[in-house]
């Protein structure tokens, strides 16, 4: 928020003040005020009660049933409520979305203390009466930040570890860690959204996109957590470069550097017992706005596909570092062809030469839209494009396709959706003038109700608080503000930064974002031609080896295009839907849905490439084959068949599907078959352990 107003100071002084975004028709809110009005005024007539919305009759009936309201001779009488009792559904408490189900976070000094309703109120009085209490936070943030064994950064600036977690009493016990503790955790979460009933509003955007809003049911699963360490570095605030922790001044602009941190590779962890198999779950009946995007738009985003071949291997890097010959270009180029090569060289050279310091590496081209082959193919046939590439760079692209881009543009539709989901949330406070905590976001490549790639922005308050409706009404302004944020941010990586694309507390989603892909998608949604607005992408030199390995792996991918078939527009090869989904033909519906969710985020890195349209078609085809409903397991089934995945499924996918199956067969779901389900769960656990050990052995 601070960064936005620093870049747009005129908005601070000219826009209207923040509005109170509240859905007054939400029974969860209105019933409390109906009772309060009846209590304060002595009673209300049925006519007077009508100001509480169209569902007032339903609220009165429920209030009488719950003995919170009394109906007598056509008048409504209220009752006195305990606003200190978080379980009282008729008491007026905090209607902010970030404190609906409060949990007390307290210091664990080894002593037990009597718990009361006072524990869940963060007031001066409760702080004075209980010296152990650190803070009170909502359930959604407890599951995210204070789950069992979490490393929690408290409001006092200290670092704590969760030592005891009581979900029933809504209490969390923590112990303080040393100030120099660098270990951190982040939760592993998945979301599912069901649209309930017909949309309450709907309208068309450009290029076939549709924005709508209405009632939804949101289910959030907190399935485990990741453990990682913070690694100290230094960062220049002015030019965004990072250095080792002993570099005190920027090597480019000489500006003093500031302490910062990067993350080590994360270790996947399960919650301790008794939360290992089930984890935590939140179900929310609320309101949402959803944006559905035609899969046909995916092809318009190819220019944002990350470059997968090294410029130093195919001559591009040297070509851009060197001046072009004066006079006629060698090789007998036509005048138009020579102009094409010189124009690309002139526009690209400034970016490619930009190297802020010896401690950084410059990626140019960093995405396909910056590639010389892309420029040539836009104007010339494939064979002539490869011939010109050879004349310009010296690499024999016309006879040896190695290290030359050939059908390797992977889908960036999901990163574009994920990034747009984030930027709208980030711009919601400044454009829609509401509280960011009131709004959650979820993106998927396919949804059963919308039939296509969809972004949901949902109210995080039970019953809805009006935030989603504001997103629906302000979507044009939110898209404009999102584009401005992406374009004006000075960060230099494809994924962007916390100022433009990333949201705090969403570490998993922050890994699946793309600044250029989102910018091009916004162009399409606003009826404009998709434009590549970004220059060179600059990274710390320590990532150089990772990029080199990435390029080497891409070149060795089996089935890579080595001829002109794909470039000449040949029909793509039809692939088995279960192979695309990494799924066994014998599967349960919940496993299919989880596989589709995980693969949606993986296809960005798949070679041979998989499009969003192909993945969605595979999902629909798998649905038509039918899913099994029983959990009978046969003795001769392999561990992969038990977990219903193929051997080439990713570690992340196997882990998530294992947890999906664990929830399905948990004893709490089958109380009448406890012995049988306990046996099945043991088999599932052993299958997961066998695959884990096999994976570790192969890695070694």
Q: What is the pLDDT of residues 496-509, one digit of tens each?
A: 888 889 887 676 77
Look at residues 127, 137, 120 and name the one whose alpha carbon lies nearest to residue 86.
Answer: 120
Residue 202 has pLDDT above 80, yes or no: yes
Q: What is d(CA 348, CA 304) in angstroms, rounded to the nearest whole number?
A: 16
Does residue 525 contact residue 533 with C-beta atoms inside 8 Å?
no
pLDDT band at 14 (very low <50, low <70, confident <90, very high): low
Average pLDDT rounded to a whole number, residues 163-180: 93
Residue 293 has pLDDT above 90, yes or no: yes
Tens digit of pLDDT for each residue in 668-686? 777 778 888 888 989 999 9
Residue 127 has pLDDT above 70, yes or no: no
**Ramachandran quadrant class, 430 (left: phi over 0; alpha: psi -120 to 50; beta: rest):** alpha
Q: What is the dihedral of CA 542, 374, 453, 199, to 10 degrees?
A: 120
User: pTM (2 decimals)?
Assistant: 0.79
Average pLDDT, the chain: 84
Residue 85 has pLDDT above 60, yes or no: yes
Residue 165 has pLDDT above 90, yes or no: yes
Question: What pLDDT does residue 564 have?
Answer: 41
For the ranges 18-22, 220-224, 418-422, 530-534, which has the lowest average pLDDT? 18-22
Question: What pLDDT does residue 573 have?
Answer: 61
For the ranges 42-56, 335-349, 498-512, 610-624, which has the lowest average pLDDT? 498-512
Question: What pLDDT does residue 20 have?
Answer: 52
Residue 267 burial (CB < 10 Å; 0-12/13-18/19+)?
exposed
Q: What is d(CA 521, CA 415) in angstroms, rounded to the nearest whole number?
A: 10
Look at residues 536, 244, 480 and name the one whose alpha carbon lies nearest to residue 363.
Answer: 536
Question: What pLDDT does residue 589 have?
Answer: 92
């Amino acid at each position: 928020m601070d960064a936005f107003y620093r870049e747009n100071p005129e908005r601070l002084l000219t826009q209207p003040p923040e509005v109170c975004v509240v859905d007054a028709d939400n029974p969860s809110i209105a019933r409390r005020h109906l009772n309060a009005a009846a209590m304060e005024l002595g009673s209300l007539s049925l006519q007077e009660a009508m100001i509480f919305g169209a569902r007032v009759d339903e609220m009165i009936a429920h209030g009488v049933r719950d003995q919170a309201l009394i109906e007598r001779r056509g008048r409504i009488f209220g009752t006195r409520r305990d606003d200190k009792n978080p379980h009282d559904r008729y008491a007026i408490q905090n209607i902010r979305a970030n404190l609906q189900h409060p949990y007390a976070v307290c210091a664990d000094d080894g002593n037990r203390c009597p718990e009361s309703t006072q524990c869940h109120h963060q007031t001066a009085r409760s702080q004075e009466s209980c010296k152990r209490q650190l803070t009170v936070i909502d359930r959604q943030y407890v599951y995210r930040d204070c789950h069992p064994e979490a490393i929690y950064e408290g409001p006092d600036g200290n670092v704590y570890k969760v030592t005891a977690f009581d979900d029933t009493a809504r209490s969390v016990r923590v112990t303080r860690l040393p100030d120099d503790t660098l270990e951190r955790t982040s939760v592993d979460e998945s979301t599912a959204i069901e649209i309930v009933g017909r949309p309450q509003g709907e309208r068309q955007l450009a290029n076939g996109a549709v924005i709508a809003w209405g009632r939804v049911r949101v289910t959030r699963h907190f399935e485990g957590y990741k453990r990682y360490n913070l690694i100290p570095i230094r960062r220049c605030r002015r030019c965004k470069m990072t250095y080792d922790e002993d570099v005190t001044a920027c090597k480019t602009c000489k500006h003093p550097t500031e302490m910062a941190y990067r993350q080590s590779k994360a270790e996947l962890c399960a919650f301790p017992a008794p939360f290992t198999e089930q984890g935590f779950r939140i179900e929310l009946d609320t309101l949402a706005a959803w944006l559905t995007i035609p899969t046909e738009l995916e092809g318009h985003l190819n220019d944002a596909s990350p470059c997968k071949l090294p410029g130093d291997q195919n001559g591009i890097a040297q070509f851009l570092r060197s001046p072009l010959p004066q006079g006629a270009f060698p090789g007998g180029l036509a005048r138009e062809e020579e102009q094409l090569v010189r124009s690309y060289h002139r526009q690209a050279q400034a970016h490619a030469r930009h190297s802020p310091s010896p401690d950084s590496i410059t990626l140019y081209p960093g995405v396909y839209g910056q590639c010389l082959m892309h420029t040539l193919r836009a104007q010339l046939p494939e064979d002539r494009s490869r011939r010109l590439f050879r004349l310009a760079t010296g690499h024999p692209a016309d006879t040896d396709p190695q290290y030359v881009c050939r059908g390797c543009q992977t889908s960036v539709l999901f990163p574009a959706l994920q990034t747009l989901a984030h930027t709208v949330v980030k711009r919601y406070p400044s454009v829609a003038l509401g509280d960011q905590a009131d709004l959650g976001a979820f993106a998927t490549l396919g949804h059963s109700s919308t039939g296509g790639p969809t972004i949901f922005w949902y109210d995080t308050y039970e019953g809805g608080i009006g935030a989603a409706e504001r997103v629906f009404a302000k979507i044009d302004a939110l898209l404009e503000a999102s584009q401005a944020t992406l374009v004006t941010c000075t960060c230099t990586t494809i994924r962007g930064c916390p100022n433009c694309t990333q949201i705090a507390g969403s570490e998993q989603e922050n890994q699946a974002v793309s600044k250029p892909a989102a910018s091009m998608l916004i162009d399409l949604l606003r009826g404009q031609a998709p434009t590549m607005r970004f220059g060179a992408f600059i990274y710390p030199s320590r990532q150089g080896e990772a990029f080199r390995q990435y390029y080497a792996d891409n070149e060795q991918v089996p089935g890579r295009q080595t001829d002109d078939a794909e470039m000449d527009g040949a029909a793509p090869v039809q692939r088995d839907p279960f192979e695309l989904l990494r799924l066994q033909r014998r599967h349960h519906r919940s496993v299919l849905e989880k596989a589709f969710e995980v693969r949606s985020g993986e296809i960005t890195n798949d070679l041979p490439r998989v499009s969003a349209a192909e993945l969605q078609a595979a999902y629909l085809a798998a649905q038509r084959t039918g899913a099994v409903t029983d959990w009978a397991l046969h003795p001769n089934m392999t561990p992969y068949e038990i977990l219903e995945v193929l051997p080439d499924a990713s570690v992340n996918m196997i882990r998530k599907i294992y947890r999906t199956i664990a929830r399905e067969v948990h004893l709490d779901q089958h109380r009448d078959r406890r012995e049988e389900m306990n046996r099945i769960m043991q088999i599932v656990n052993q299958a997961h352990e066998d695959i884990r050990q096999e994976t570790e052995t192969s890695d070694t």
